[in-house]
Structure 1
Amino acid sequence: MDDHGGASKGAGRRAAAYLVNGFGFLRLSLLTLLGAVLIAGAAQAQTYRFSTFEVQGNTRIETSTILANLGVTPGESITAGQLNDGFQRLQASGLFETVEIVPQGGKLLIIVNEYPTINRISIEGNDRLKDEDLLTVVTSQPRRVYSPAVAERDAANIAAAYAQAGRLSATVQPKIIRRSDNRVDLVFEIAEGRVSEIERLSFVGNRAFSDRRLRRVLETTQAGLFRALIGSDTFVGDRIALDTQLLRDFYLSRGYADVQVLSATPELSPNRDAYFLTFRIQEGQQFTFGDVTAVSNLPEIDVDQYQSEIQVRRGNVFNPQSVERTIQRLELLATRQGLTFVRVTPTVRRNDADLTLDVDFVIEKGERLFVERIDIEGNATTLDRVIRREFETVEGDPFNPREIRAAAERIRALGYFSQAEVSAREGSAPEQVIVDVDVEEQPTGSLGFGANYSAESGVGVSFSFAETNFLGRGQVFNFSVDTGSETSSSSLTFVEPYFLNRDLALSFSIFYNESSQDTLTFDTRSAGFSTGLSFPAGEYSRLALSYGFTTDKLTERPGTTLSPVLLRDEGEAITSFVSYTYTYNTIGGGLDPTRGVRLRFGQQFAGIGGDEEFVKSTFLASAQRTIRNDEVTLNATFEGGVINSLGGTLSRQSNRFFNNQSIIRGFESGGIGPRDLNFSNGSLGGNYYAAARFEAQFPLGFIPDEYGISAATFLDMGSVWGLDDATTVGIPIDDGFFLNSAVGVGLLWDTAIGPLRFNFTRAINKRSFDREQTFDLTIQTRF
């Protein structure tokens, strides 16, 4: 710096500049720069050369770190602009409240004031959201350097969390409290504000389906009676996209191939505590399937064989799910035949004249791609193998995009994750594909303490623990205890859904029940366990095999007299049995979402040890469909059972059939069936039962949907009859077939404290000793 004259130095000192940032200032003695500007008016930048550096004020930050950020090398020329850039880097590092740079001839003095260290972080003013939930969005951490910019971002994240909870007016203010040793307490002060509810949820352009029906499709609901307890009636912006997709899927599944959700417009009320959300829809016309054919030019494909796999028929309402399932069936057939890289592509032709869609399933060779690997991220608790087993594809298999999408749907259906995204990218070679799985876990367990009530069991308390992803292994564990004034029960169940890494569910359960009903002259107690395996037997069917062991005891109460039929049942008996159950169910999951059937048949074979020998067979057939544009749901159910005693034994009370509210409504449990006419022992149970139930559920037009109230009318009929020894006990016993029947109406109420159902019934065909039940209320509460 010796080449500059004294006049220039004096002028530079007199023109010392101050550069101000948000937290401090920089004083630069621009020794020759401003002097040259003032004297010569030249635009030439002056240069500096510093031989030594002095840093003051740093206690935690190393001097070398500060100089590295400054970017000045001893003895090297540097312009005023470059020196200013270094100052900006120091300030932007987020390490210092103030920064001052003072050139002193050949020495550069750097004075810093470090940001304090965060001693603790606290949240104040929050009531609706818990501290532990809010702290998950806070990136500031104790024992780390405090940064105002980071604290502001944290406050914005907390405000966003409140917006997700429907409190758009919530404000968050970060504040610091100074402590000793350059430490601060960081406090986020929250004013929660009021919940912004969905005051009105409406639709424009819908002709085929009413507003009431479409509201049931959406995740969002209108604010109703329990608005303080129900979270889904609060406005959440991110939920609109989901609701839009749900609306579109609903229309597509019912044949409206051209449906468009043109807009979803939320309007905020002037006082910012309510929203009016309007969906504008263009429905288009409803289409049905026309000609549905399999087409292929591949010589190895037998088109007729693939055509027989197509279950969609002309005249069926068009449904994209039906198309997707047909593709899966055809590609699965190709795999079974040993054909690789076969892809099925649907080609759709519109026939606007008759509103049909012809679909050609074109079977062709696809691109030769292989799965290199499957990468899984985001699962902190759930084991990789639990996710990986949802893929039918493994490393090295041909890559099938449709199978990858199906695996993604299966992963989402597990219920373990709030988000599950599956994508594919190019691998290490052009013919290789890497499948990425990114998940975000959610709670899968519940601990419940509650109360329950029914007209039969009275008031009771309950405790339950349930976990559907036990230890992150995808296993199910349930434990429950329920007590009532006349009955008590407890059970424990464990299910491994993928035993031996196959779609083979292994289950184990134990139970203990006691009953001491006032209307009976005896008490019962039963305990036992069962274990079994179940596996798919078809696209909609499943087969379960099990073994069980029970011990049952019937005890006469003091001062009472048992019927001779029950005297032989007094005491304890052991039943050891094997059983199988076949189920077929398309309700809610078949090709047509408006209808479905459920079939169940099972048999229990007792006599593998124990005291009882019999074959017990049961069946159930149910059909359900919706009418009047899905406003009304119709259901018809037929079921029955029979016990055939073997080896000269007689059926026992604990194994016979008894009526309950799930079989025939309008009568008490055990209120119908064989009776000893000389004793008031209630029903003796029967070796046979048959029942038919018909029900229609529909909304109540004068009650808003948001209250969750609907109505039902029903007709139940059936009978319990038949005893092995009715003619040998020497007393009058009525065990003949008699068709009991009852009609009724019901109110169904989905509340925040659990589902309630009120049934009002009237028997229309009964015997004098049958016990009628004209009212039934069932409540199940968890808190």
Structure 2
Amino acid sequence: SVYRLADFSISGNSEFSTEELRRLFRPERSGLFSDDEMDGDDLPIFNAAQFEASTALVSQRYQNEGYLYSQILPFVERNPVEEGQPPTVNVGWNIQEGTQAYVARVDIEGNEFTYERVIRDKIFVLPGDVYSQDRIIQSFQSVSSLGFFEVPMEVPSIVPNEEGDVNLTFRVTEKPTGSVNFGTSVGAGVGGLAGFVGYEQPNLFGKGKAGSLRWDFGRYQNNQIMSYTDPGVFGSLVSGSANLFNTRDRFISFRSGRRRRAGFDIRFGFLLPGARFTRIFTGYGLSQTELTLRSGEDISLFGRPAGTQSTMSVGITRTTLNHPIFP
């Protein structure tokens, strides 16, 4: 039988107003009722599955405000069926809020190489904070996204203490980081033997800093590039990166000359107030380019004086990666 919804009620709520909780119940907001068309003044059709989903949303709302021990007790009461009328039900929530729980401790275990502060920078829950399920999930995802630990990570341990507050423990398992990359090619198109050798380490010395080295070699190129990134310069909230490069190449179409370019660029990122995942970046770069004539007399391109380039940049980046493989 199809039941119509006759009445909805809420009792026991004080943290959230009845009107606020009703917003999770209204058809136009939550899709609680089925999408079947209603004729005239007919009562809406009751959808039990959506009612359960709305109940879970209310429970989550309380969990995120520290009511770890709250209980949302849904009820469905069938009304007597009147002749010529469809069967109806009265539904609602009896809420037992309990008291708010606070975070007493936040512990980290298993980090044998990575410094603890690197992990804590990715945790959005501090001792003394009101318990929040959403922030614990975000912290778990943020630590996983570092890429320094085996995934899937163990779910954080949540242990109540005698005062009714909770102790949180994040457990990680270190995995090898860093990679050596190399490749070679032989052929007339590259002028004989050419290739590259590189090393990348995203967790230098266990401090969450990243560094890389790369050398490209061959008849027509000889490049050295070194980069370094620090997510917290001198332990601050300011991130920084630096690149040094020295490149030399010969143009296949202009074999009478060679180009050499050397320089650096630096970049600093500042957290946007009130936006945890957004940074404003400012950078500066300086490089010098030399075009040397090796043979012939055409100096229209090669043999000209060295040129210096100075650049400044400003940008904004929002990063919400929550998984090292599927961000």
Alignment TM class, shorter chain as reference? 0.5 to 0.7
Structure 2 residue aligned with 1:447: 180
Structure 2 CA distance for partners of 1:550 and 1:469, relative to 1, 3 Å? same
- Partner of 1:349, secondary structure, is coil
Out of 81, 85, 108, the position equivalent to 1:376 is: 108
Given that 1:371 and 1:398 are in contact with CA atoms closer than 8 Å, whether structure 2 keeps it comes out as yes
Structure 2 residue aligned with 1:274: none
Partner amino acid for 1:573? G
* CA RMSD after TM alignment: 3.9
- Counterparts of residues 338-349 of structure 1 (less than 5 Å): 349=32
Out of 91, 106, 119, the position equivalent to 1:387 is: 119
- Counterparts of residues 278-427 of structure 1 (less than 5 Å): 349=32, 351=34, 353=36, 366-367=66-67, 368-419=100-151, 420-421=153-154, 422-427=156-161
**Stretch of structure 1 that moved more, 356-365 or 517-526:** 356-365
Given that 2:122 and 2:139 are in contact with CA atoms closer than 8 Å, whether structure 1 keeps it comes out as yes
Structure 2 CA distance for partners of 1:577 and 1:453, relative to 1, 3 Å? farther
Partner amino acid for 1:443? P
Structure 1 residue aligned with 2:6: none
Structure 2 CA distance for partners of 1:347 and 1:499, relative to 1, 3 Å? farther
- Counterparts of residues 141-540 of structure 1 (less than 5 Å): 349=32, 351=34, 353=36, 366-367=66-67, 368-419=100-151, 420-421=153-154, 422-427=156-161, 429-451=162-184, 460-499=194-233, 501=235, 504-520=238-254, 521-535=256-270
Given that 1:528 and 1:550 are in contact with CA atoms closer than 8 Å, whether structure 2 keeps it comes out as yes
CA distance in 2, matches of 1:385, 1:452: 43
Structure 2 residue aligned with 1:558: 295
- Counterparts of residues 521-600 of structure 1 (less than 5 Å): 521-535=256-270, 542-563=279-300, 566=301, 570-583=304-317
- Identical columns (%): 24
CA distance in 2, matches of 1:383, 1:526: 38
CA distance in 2, matches of 1:301, 1:511: 63
CA distance in 1, matches of 2:147, 2:265: 26
Q: Deviations over 1:156-203 (max 9, x none)?
A: xxxxxxxxxxxxxxxxxxxxxxxxxxxxxxxxxxxxxxxxxxxxxxxx
CA distance in 2, matches of 1:377, 1:585: 26
Displacement of 1:437 after TM fit?
A: 1.3
Q: Deviations over 1:385-419 (max 9, x none)?
A: 11111112212222212211111111111110114
CA distance in 2, matches of 1:491, 1:527: 10
Given that 1:529 and 1:549 are in contact with CA atoms closer than 8 Å, whether structure 2 keeps it comes out as yes
Structure 2 residue aligned with 1:138: none
Displacement of 1:372 after TM fit?
A: 1.3
CA distance in 1, matches of 2:310, 2:204: 30
Displacement of 1:431 after TM fit?
A: 3.0
- Partner of 1:530, secondary structure, is strand
- Counterparts of residues 130-149 of structure 1 (less than 5 Å): none
Partner amino acid for 1:544? F
CA distance in 2, matches of 1:376, 1:348: 41
Query: What are structure 2's unaligned runs of at least 5 residues?
Result: 1-12, 38-46, 68-99
TM-score (norm 2): 0.64
Partner amino acid for 1:418? E
Q: Deviations over 1:340-365 (max 9, x none)?
A: xxxxxx97736365999798765665
CA distance in 2, matches of 1:412, 1:529: 32
Q: Deviations over 1:475-510 (max 9, x none)?
A: 101011111331221111111113355654211110
Structure 2 CA distance for partners of 1:558 and 1:500, relative to 1, 3 Å? same
CA distance in 2, matches of 1:301, 1:560: 87
Query: How many residues are treated as equivalent by the alignment?
Result: 250
CA distance in 1, matches of 2:201, 2:18: 47
Partner amino acid for 2:180? L
CA distance in 2, matches of 1:456, 1:302: 73
Structure 2 CA distance for partners of 1:349 and 1:447, relative to 1, 3 Å? same
Partner amino acid for 2:176? P
Given that 2:287 and 2:309 are in contact with CA atoms closer than 8 Å, whether structure 1 keeps it comes out as yes
Larger radius of gyration: 1
CA distance in 1, matches of 2:263, 2:18: 54
Structure 2 CA distance for partners of 1:502 and 1:430, relative to 1, 3 Å? same
Structure 2 CA distance for partners of 1:301 and 1:504, relative to 1, 3 Å? farther
Partner amino acid for 2:280? L
